[in-house]
Amino acid sequence: MPELHSSLDALARKVTHRLIWHSPGPRIDVRPARPIVTFTFDDVPDTALTAGATILERHGVRGTFYIAGGLAGTTEPGRRLIGADQVGELADRGHELGCHTFSHPWVRRLDKPTLFADLDRNAAFHAEHAPGVTLKNFAYPYNAPKLGIRGEMMARYRTCRGGVPAINRGKTDPAFLRSIEIRPPDAYARTLTRWIDDVAAEPGWLIFFTHDISDTPTPFGCMPDTLDMLVGHALEKGCEVLTLDAALDRMAVPERNR
Ligand SMILES: [Zn+2]
């Protein structure tokens, strides 16, 4: 769920990002034989299902949808979030469901018991609405992580996605995957092919994230034609387009990184 950042939040986020990069912990070695591109959708707006998932499927590929169960069925300016009854549909259509917390908080503002209870609640939500699905990967709301929870998060998830805009290559922190946002204006979103060209030239793992997929997107979304163009461009350039979890399997990353 988008929210405008205050300058204080932006500063706190920047400092946290820097500290996390330098905190010890296992790293994964991202050296795929072929470049990998992953498309992810956060929250998740219903157009990410009706338009986004459909576009990926038309190309014969699948995406990762980081769902916050507490948002399901709610309406916000410019978008409606998928209903609980649509969560299972994404899984049935072969897409990956990831965890995005239940209540979509600023994670660093929560103490550990509150945070972990929130994560448990999202797991329970998915157990009810997408039986048999395990949420293996996590994305921080607002891409804003929290210090001091690496061990617990890595015990729960294979990866956590953060917002530092870069390609994952070589030694990579699974607790803080880098990712590139697809957002308006459309003229800008269409230039994101440069990231695909970059990963195609030197294999690594490029993760995109966005929200609604609409001809009139919110400031956090993408137009259908542009998403279609980006997926097509990745495939034309010889990239494998994989879900988060399939990408980890392709790179033989162990199920848990403790
Ligand atoms: Zn979100």
- Determine, yes or no, domain membership for 245: yes
Residues ≥6 apart with Cβ < 8 Å to 144: 9, 13, 16, 106, 107, 108, 163
Distance CA 175, CA 172 (A): 9
Any idea which residue has 């979103």 for tokens?
189
Give pLDDT, residue 78: 87
The CA angle 201-202-207, to the nearest 5 degrees, is 100
Segments forming the whole domain that contains residue 119? 30-250
Give pLDDT, residue 87: 96
- Determine, yes or no, domain membership for 6: no
Give pLDDT, residue 20: 66
- Predicted confidence band of residue 162 (pLDDT cuts 50, 70, 90): confident
- Determine, yes or no, domain membership for 14: no
| Ligand 1 mean position, distance from CA 194 (Å) | 25
Average pLDDT over residues 150-165: 92
**Cα-trace Rg, the chain:** 17
- Determine, yes or no, domain membership for 176: yes
| Ligand 1 mean position, distance from CA 41 (Å) | 9
DSSP code of 60?
T
How many other C-beta atoms lie within 10 A of the C-beta of residue 35? 23
| Ligand 1 mean position, distance from CA 201 (Å) | 31
| Ligand 1 mean position, distance from CA 22 (Å) | 25
| Ligand 1 mean position, distance from CA 33 (Å) | 31
- Determine, yes or no, domain membership for 3: no
User: Worst-scoring range by mean pLDDT, 18-22, 84-88, 199-203?
Assistant: 18-22
- Determine, yes or no, domain membership for 257: no
Give pLDDT, residue 163: 72
Give pLDDT, residue 3: 47
Distance CA 205, CA 26 (A): 18
Average pLDDT over residues 169-195: 96
Q: Is 80 exceeded by the pLDDT of residue 258?
A: no
Check: CB of residue 218 under 8 Å from CB of residue 43.
Answer: no
Q: Is 80 exceeded by the pLDDT of residue 190?
A: yes
- Determine, yes or no, domain membership for 22: no
The CA angle 58-198-251, to the nearest 5 degrees, is 70
| Ligand 1 mean position, distance from CA 101 (Å) | 9
- CATH number at 88 reads 3.20.20.370
Q: Is 70 exceeded by the pLDDT of residue 4?
A: no
Distance CA 240, CA 250 (A): 10
| Ligand 1 mean position, distance from CA 75 (Å) | 14
| Ligand 1 mean position, distance from CA 4 (Å) | 12
- Determine, yes or no, domain membership for 45: yes
The number of folded domains in the chain is 1
| Ligand 1 mean position, distance from CA 45 (Å) | 10
| Ligand 1 mean position, distance from CA 78 (Å) | 15
How many other C-beta atoms lie within 10 A of the C-beta of residue 85? 10
Can you name the residues that pair with 37 across neighbouring β-strands?
A: 206, 241
Percent of the chain past pLDDT 70, that is, above it, reads 91
Measure the N-to-C terminal CA separation of the chain; round to a whole number of Å. Answer: 29
Give pLDDT, residue 18: 67
Mode of pairing for the β-strands spanning 205-210 and 36-43: parallel
| Ligand 1 mean position, distance from CA 106 (Å) | 10
| Ligand 1 mean position, distance from CA 143 (Å) | 8
| Ligand 1 mean position, distance from CA 1 (Å) | 4
Check: CB of residue 174 under 8 Å from CB of residue 26.
Answer: yes
Q: How many helices (H) and strands (E) does the chain have?
A: 10, 12
**Which has the closest alpha carbon to 139: 167, 119, 111, 159?**
159
- Predicted confidence band of residue 131 (pLDDT cuts 50, 70, 90): very high
Give pLDDT, residue 252: 82
- Predicted confidence band of residue 66 (pLDDT cuts 50, 70, 90): very high
How many other C-beta atoms lie within 10 A of the C-beta of residue 68? 24
| Ligand 1 mean position, distance from CA 249 (Å) | 25
Phi-psi region of 44 (alpha: psi -120 to 50; beta: other; left: phi over 0): beta
pLDDT in tens, 225-237: 999 999 999 999 9
Q: Is 50 exceeded by the pLDDT of residue 2?
A: no
Token representation of residue 114: 């509150």
Average pLDDT over residues 32-37: 96
Angle of helix 112-129 relative to helix 84-92, nearest 10 degrees, comes to 70
Per-chain residues with Cβ under 5 A from ion ligand 1:
1, 42-43, 141
Mode of pairing for the β-strands spanning 64-67 and 36-43: parallel
